[in-house]
Amino acid sequence: MSEFHNIGLIGRTESESAVLSLKRLMAFLEQEGFDVVLEKETATAISNHGARISKREKLGELCDLVIVVGGDGSLLGAARALAKFSVPLLGINRGRLGFLTDITPDEIEDKVGEVLSGKYMAESRFLLDMSVTRNGKPVGHGSALNDVVIHPGEFIRMIEFDLFIDGQFVYTQRSDGLIISTPTGSTAYALSGGGPIMHPKLDAIVLVPLNPHTLSSRPIVVEGSSEFKIIIGKHNIAKPHVTCDGHDQVITQPGDVVRIHKKPHRLTLIHPIDHNFYETCRTKLNWQSGA
């Protein structure tokens, strides 16, 4: 008997192919006798269904497993909303790259069936919490599974900020910004910025400067429990933006303080039993394979 009974579904509703996969997945789950709970927005794309409907956050209380049909961005959004509930996530790829959503649409019945029968791998991933204060008062916050990014916003200008790690001053930097990335995010924006690929099991965070004015400024890898404080420089012409996984944007002012640290709640990510991180890198990043 499966350890999963109530299965939540979140889908990329603007994608016709994702909706088709959602319907196929729903039919399979109902045929196998599982109770399906549709996320409220997802339900708008599926007509004539008898499933329960729930707000996204409520899925964490109602479900034993949530399956996301879409791209990595869809799974990132689900992770930010559901991590505090400890409900595991499984991804079916209807996006482009698919580092996190690793079941292909034509594998739905086979791979999802294996997971529901107990044949799967579970990975624990940590998220980041971000907050911005101005004159000691909170003005914004967010969370990220991939990365927190400080950037100039709509202006193409260098920005200046002071970086502290665990209370120790690191440097004053002038650059196009800074990426603070988890191991999960190391294969995303941080990679394109010249950062290292980190295995998902690492308890580490990488800081990747974006086009730093000082060419000797390089990515720094620190332990995952580190706490970061970034003070926005007083002389910036642009107002630096802070984004979490490309969302939860906060526009800062000179003197604002950005704080980032590991979130207390971790995400459980489910993979098929034959999942291999290095094979995923090889496939998605077009690494050379042996003869």
CA distances to 27, 172, 174, 227 from 185, rounded to whole Å, are 33, 24, 23, 18
Which candidate in 35, 64, 72, 110 is catalytic? 72
Query: Could you tell me how far CA 5 lies from the centroid of its own chain?
Result: 25
**Alpha-carbon 19 to chain mean position:** 22
**Given phi > 0 = left and psi -120 to 50 = alpha, else beta, which region is 257?**
beta
Alpha-carbon span 289 to 279, nearest angstrom? 9
Q: Are 175 and 273 in contact (CB under 8 A)?
A: no
Classify residue 48 by burial, with Cβ atoms within 10 Å: 0-12, 13-18, 19+. exposed
Closest CA to 130 of 267, 252, 269, 255: 252
72 a catalytic residue? yes
Strand 52-54 vs strand 35-39: parallel, antiparallel, or unpaired?
parallel
Annotated active-site positions, please?
72
